[in-house]
Chain A
Amino acid sequence: DSGVTQTPKHLITATGQRVTLRCSPRSGDLSVYWYQQSLDQGLQFLIQYYNGEERAKGNILERFSAQQFPDLHSELNLSSLELGDSALYFCASSVVASGRGEQYFGPGTRLTVT
C-alpha cells in the first residue's frame, strides 16, 4: 500500500459526459502528479501540482483540468468525454517538487467511456 488513495476505483460513463477523479496524497507529500495509462499511449504524464500550485504540464488535453486543494488532495476533471479517453488514471505523490524523487502511485481509477 503506497499510502495514496484514489476514488472511485472504476467509472463507467457515456460520451460527452464529465467526471471527476479524486486523489489523496501520502501524508506529508506536497506534490501530486496525474498520469494516464492506456494500451496505445503507455504511461503519460498529464499534470503536476505542488502545494496548491500548478508545477508542470504534460500531454493534458484542454478538456481536462485539475486542481489541488488546501488540504492537498487533488481532483482531475475530464469533460466532453470521448471513447479514446477510456484508460487507467493514476495519481502519484512525492515530497519533493522536482521529478527527481520517488513518486508513490495510487491504485488508479479505471475509466470506461461507452
Chain B
Amino acid sequence: QQQVKQSPQSLIVQKGGISIINCAYENTAFDYFPWYQQFPGKGPALLIAIRPDVSEKKEGRFTISFNKSAKQFSLHIMDSQPGDSATYFCAGTGTASKLTFGTGTRLQVTL
C-alpha cells in the first residue's frame, strides 16, 4: 500500500509544448504530495507540492492537478523549455514521515 506509480517513464516534448506527468497512489493516509526535479549529477530539489484539500496548485509554469477520489495527481509544465529537461519524481507522505517516491520521468524538451 506504499507504492506511488508514475508514468510515463520518459517524455519528449517540443519547446513551448505542455509536458504532463501522471502519478497514482495507493495509501489513503498520504496527505502531502510533492514533486521533485533532478538534474544529472545533482540531488533532487522540491519543485511544487500539494495537499489533498485542493484540486489544483499553480506556481509559474508548473501546475499540480489532484483528484482525491481517483487517488491520482499530475504535473503539468506549460511552455516547456530546454532548461526543464530533467528527471521528475512525484512522491507522497503522511504521518509516517517518510517520502515514497514514484519511479521518475525523464523529460527531454527539444528545440
Contacts and interface: CB of A to CB of B under 8 A. Distances in A.
Interface of A: 2, 4, 33, 42-45, 48, 55-56, 58, 90, 92, 97-100, 102-108
Report whether over half of chain B's contact residues are helix, strand or loop; otherwise say mixed: loop
Contacts of B32: 99-100
Top 9 nearest A-B pairs by Cβ distance?
A105-B43, A99-B93, A100-B32, A56-B97, A43-B101, A45-B98, A99-B97, A102-B46, A56-B98
B42 interface: yes
Contact of B46 (A42, A97, A103, A106): A103
Nearest to A6: B43
Interface residues of B, number: 24
Interface of B: 31-32, 34, 36, 41-46, 49, 89, 93-104
Given A2-B45, A90-B43, A105-B44, A48 B97 contact: yes
Contact of B104 (A42, A55, A106): A42
A104 B95 CA distance: 19
A104 B45 CA distance: 7
Contacts of A100: 31-32, 93-94
Nearest to A46: B98
